[in-house]
Amino acid sequence: MKTNNLNSKKIILFDGVCNMCIWSVQFVIKNDKKDVFRFASLQSKEAEKYIKNHKLSMNSIMLIDNSKIKSKSSAVLSILSHLDTFWRILLVFYIIPYPIRDLIYISFAKSRYYFFGKRNNCMVPNKEISSKFLSLS
C-alpha cells in the first residue's frame, strides 16, 4: 500500500459504483486544500483489508482516522469539518443526535441508486488524483 505518510491521513471508504458517492469523492478532493484524505472504494481490495482488520460492515460511507471509525452521518459531518467549502454550514446538523441523523442518512442512502444511478464498474481515478487513492504495492 502506498504510504505517503498514510498514518496521518484520514481514509474514506465509499461505494465505488454509486454516482452520487463518486461525485461526493470528487467534491472532497476539490475542497481538501490541506490534503487530509485518502480514498478507497468499498469494492476494492484495499477497503476489504480495512473492513476485515477493523471488523466493519460495508453498508455506508466510513471514515477511518487512526483507530477512530465513523460511519453514516457522523462520517459525512466529520469529512465536511475538514473541507474548505461553504457546505461546512451543514455542520449545524451535529446538534441532532446521531441516531436521528443516521435514520435520515439511511433513508437517503437506500434511494441513492434510484436518484443518481449506478455504474457497472468502480471509479478509476485519473493521473491527477490517483495519489489520493489507496493501492496495494
Q: What is the pTM of this model?
A: 0.86
**Radius of gyration of the CA atoms of the chain, in A:** 14
**Alpha-carbon separation of residue 41 from 89, 95, 97, 105, 121 (angstroms):** 27, 29, 28, 19, 11
In this structure, what C-alpha cell is assigned to residue 35? 490534503
Element (H, E) at 46: helix 45-54
pLDDT above 80 (res 65): yes
pLDDT on residue 5: 61
Q: Which domains does the chain have, with CATH numbers?
A: 6-132 (3.40.30)
Q: What is the pLDDT of residues 16-31, one digit of tens each?
A: 888 999 999 999 999 9
Q: Cell match 435520515: residue?
A: 104
